[in-house]
Every structure is written in structure tokens, then in C-alpha cells.
Structure 1
Amino acid sequence: MTQYATLEIDADFGGAVGEKTGVFELGPLGEDGAAQIEEGIRSGYLVDSALDDVVSTIERLLSDNGGTKGRAGIHVDAGGGQHYFQIDAETPGNARKPDGSPFQWGSSADPAAGPNEHTATDATPIQQKMTLINYMRAATTGSRTPARFRYGEIGPDGYLEDSLPVVFEDPSGVLESTRPATADLSMVLVETTDLSRPVQKELRRES
């Protein structure tokens, strides 16, 4: 089982920095002040209307057998909806793992490598908040270049073998003057199709 929820984001900062992969360890799950993660499905159906041609056809077929009762509708599940994670967490700051190492926050697990625009391990809350938001500003995250999320039994040692490809929605960070030791983070991660894999496979086949 993955001990810490981890988000990985690829971003191109340009110039001398270039491309970096930021690794953000969100902390132990379920503990006070650590990551609180809600997982769910935003259900979606292909059709859910009596005016739809498909539904109308099905209703005509059902009418021969007594039709539907009351307000019972007809729904066709064509794989619609979204698998999402609502994340509310705090920047780790100077917190330590059981082995004494800091939580990685950016491109390097070594605190001496930062803080800067692409890494802020063991840095201040405002530096960590700004580094995460900076990745999300610089990244072109989508199905072609998704972010990657590991959580619970989702890789690398869980029953799900790999990380989930995700895109992020509405990320935000809040630093309150009454709580200067940490910054609050909030975001929604939505599972997406990783189109980079079939493209890479095709490129290898053509070469």
C-alpha cells in the first residue's frame, strides 16, 4: 500500500531550468493536519430524457409489456461520468516521515536543492504553496501529458499496479496569518485517459 498520497506533475519552465517533474507527497492519510481525500464517481448517462430518440424507442418496446411505472426513468450507461478525488491537505513544511526524511515537494527530495520555482522540500509554507501552484501554471496537463496520482492501493506496491493518470481542477492554496506554520491546499483530481502511451508505442513501432 502507498503510505503517502503522491502527485507527480511534469512541467516545462523554459530557459535554463527546462523540463522538471515535481513530486508532491501529501502526507500520511487520515491523520490530523494531513491529507483528507474523498474519492467518488460523478455519474453520467448517455441519455436520460423521454424526448431522446433512443429512449423513445425503448419506451415503445416496453409499452407492449406494460411500460414503466410512475416516475421510473430509463438510463443508458455508456461509460459516462468521472472518477475524481477531492483533496484537502496542508503543505508539509518541516514535517518528517518515520525514517526522518522530509516530504518531497518538487523536483528534488534534497532540501539543499531549493527552495526555488521547481522544488521546495523542507521549505516554508508559502514557498511550498507557490512551488505547487507554479507547476500547475507551467504544466500543460491533459490526456496527452497527464499528471500522475498514487493513493492507497494505487501503485507502486498496491493491487493496482501503476499510478492513475489525472488532470487537476480548481487548485488553490491559502496561507492564513493566524496559522503561519502551514498553508491549506485544495484541488480536485479527475482520472483521464493517458494518450501518451499509445502515441509512444506507435512512435517506437514506426522507428
Structure 2
Amino acid sequence: MIARTISRLPLVAAATTMLLLGGCSAALIEAPTYKTTEVLSFKTAGAPSNVMMLEIADPAKTLPAKTWTDALSNHGFAPRLRFVTNPADIAANETIKPENRLVAVVNPSQNTFGDAICTSPQTGGMEGISERLIVRFGFCNGDNLISETRARFVKENFEEQLFNNAAVLSYQLFPRRIQSNDDDRSCGRFQVNC
């Protein structure tokens, strides 16, 4: 037990140092939540041709749709996903499942979490609560949420931070596997690769 704790100290120290060095320019990405127990591969099940729909709920149009798709595409474990906001943007040999999509809600309302992000994502109501720009991301299958996370970006650096943190978002939303913490005692709940 003591050896396990000691072996984690360098990892904790490195993570703390990275946070301190990142300072205010770092986006704060919360731990993901998953609404599934079986994950053979989120990506291959959700996007047989490695193309997935991206639905953006942002009435203020903080960033153009192309910026969102460019930032979030081609990250994480293989197969890497390419996101499109219009089904017409796929090639003739590609297949898309419109029911499987990534939803991004900028400035989400207090009720936009869980399955609500898939059925009725709402924005607004969070202005002035945070100095950061809040974005909730959810991987949806129809009306059902599969995975979600929330990020807090510095408003002035939103585009840069979206690009810089896209790989982390991809790893969290589309993990390679998930194991129950009850079955694997060395697996922490914040470790996406567990």
C-alpha cells in the first residue's frame, strides 16, 4: 500500500507543476462522466467511416463552424475522427450515422447536462457566473448521452485553447476502454485509460 502511494507521488508532482506552469492560459477540463458500461470502441461504433456529426449550440456564434471542426478533428486514439457540421460534407465512399454526434454547448443553461444535452441543449443563464467561457461537450446516440465533459476556457484565448485541448477532450469523450473501479483497484476514476 505504501509503495503504491510513493509511486504515485512523482505523477502528482508532475501534474501539479504542469497546472502551475499553465497558469491562467490553461483551460480547465472536468473529469468525464460515462453513461455506458460496454465500450468496445466508441469511435468505430459511433462513426464507421471515421466521420461524425458535430452539433454546435451557440447562438452568439463565438467561433465559425469550420474552426470547431478543424480544432476537434483528428485527435485521440486511432481511428481518429473527422467532424462535420453538414452531412453533405462527407465523401461519396463515407458513411455517417446522424444519430451519433458530438454536441458542443457554449454557455450551457443549468439544465443542459445528461440526456438533455442530446435532446434539448439550451444556452444562456450562466452569464456573469464565471470569468471563463463554459462549454459542455457530449457524445450522443440519438436521445441518449454516452459520455460528457465540461471545459472552462479563458474567453480571450478561446480559439487557441480549443485547439490546444482538443486531444484531451477526444481522449475523455471517446476512451479506448472503461473498466469498473470495483473490478480494478488500481484504476482511478479520473484515469480515462482505465
With structure 1 as the length reference, what TM-score do the two structures score?
0.23
- Which has the greater radius of gyration? 1
Which is helix-richer, 1 or 2? 2
Which is strand-richer, 1 or 2? 1
With structure 2 as the length reference, what TM-score do the two structures score?
0.24
